[in-house]
Amino acid sequence: MILFHAAGASSQAPHILLREAALPFSLEHVDLLHHSWSGGDYRAVNPKAYVPALRLDDGGLLTECAVILQWIADHAPTSRLIPAAGTPARYRSLEWLNFIATELHKNFITPERHGGVAANFLSRTEAGQAQTRLHVAPRLAYVEQCLRGRAFLDGEDFTAPDAYLFTMLTWAGRIGLGLTEWPNLQAFFDRTRQRASVRETLEVEGPPHALLESRTRHAQDLP
Ligand SMILES: N[C@@H](CCC(=O)N[C@@H](CS)C(=O)NCC(=O)O)C(=O)O
């Protein structure tokens, strides 16, 4: 299995989950600005041009972060990273994955264009980041309420949506949205950052790729 990724991008979530699942995988770095990777034009791999993308062992390609996370969790059932299909708990988990994808992830993304390319990136302008903060803050306030009295989104155990939420919280720090007013989110972030899977991911990925980094801070200092 190959995970096509860029440091600190949304691909960080499946990177964390692959480590949680202890599935064998390798990483391929994608230069998002130039649509390139060590094998050439990344658009030949993924015509959508973005990460994450997961090359499966049968040669198929899976895209869309929330779906890749489900695939990983479903292929490591003993790791208990997502409830069984068809159960009420599974739908709660899907609800979180969809919320994070559409209400958080998408609201972090700017319509600004970098280098003339149409792309999904965090805003690099102060005005753009202020706009993003306006959209994201009320949604994080909702998650703050949901985390009251629980360690992770699903309760006491780390599951797939937690990896996605963690990555979104690193982005919050990058656009100047600290977590100090949200103690449950801060505790979630600190707790998750201590997991071996997350520490390994942050170490392997290193600083976020240039187009995500607007405040010259390292992921491990965030938020
Ligand atoms: N809908 C996609 C969006 C993925 C996405 O926004 N990827 C960003 C990095 S976080 C990206 O690769 N941007 C580069 C581009 O769009 O060209 C998903 O949910 O996986």
Residue 219 banded pLDDT, cuts 50, 70, 90: very low
201 and 97 in a single domain? The answer is: yes
31 and 111 in a single domain? The answer is: no
pLDDT tens for 76-94 read 999 999 999 999 999 999 9
115 and 182 in a single domain? The answer is: yes
Exposure letters 199-214 (e unless 16+ CB within 10 A, then b) = eebbeebeebbbbbbb
At 124 the pLDDT is 82
Which atom of ligand 1 lies at the shortest distance from residue 49's CA?
17
At 123 the pLDDT is 86
Pocket of ligand 1, candidates 65, 120, 164: which has the most ligand atoms within 8 Å of its Cβ, to mutate? 120
Which of 17, 22, 50 lies closest to 35 in space, CA to CA?
A: 50
Percent of the chain whose pLDDT exceeds 70: 91
| C-alpha 42: how far from chain center | 20
Pocket of ligand 1, candidates 3, 4, 5, 10: which has the most ligand atoms within 8 Å of its Cβ, to mutate? 10
Give yes or no for residue 215 having a pLDDT over 70: no
106: CA distance to ligand 1 center in Å?
9
Task: State how many domains the chain has.
Answer: 2
Report d(CA 111, CA 20) in Å as an integer. Answer: 33
Q: Are 107 and 26 in contact (CB under 8 A)?
A: no
49 and 115 in a single domain? The answer is: no
CATH for 100: 1.20.1050.10
44 and 99 in a single domain? The answer is: no
Q: Is the model more confident about 214 or about 158?
A: 158
pLDDT tens for 134-151 read 999 999 999 999 999 999
Residue 110 banded pLDDT, cuts 50, 70, 90: confident
Domain boundary among 48, 78, 108: 78
63 and 92 in a single domain? The answer is: no
At 64 the pLDDT is 98
pLDDT tens for 48-68 read 999 999 999 999 999 999 999
65 and 105 in a single domain? The answer is: no
Residue with CA closest to ligand 1 atom 6: 120
CATH for 31: 3.40.30.10
Domain boundary among 36, 55, 78: 78
106 and 177 in a single domain? The answer is: yes
Domain containing 61: what range? 2-78
62 and 133 in a single domain? The answer is: no
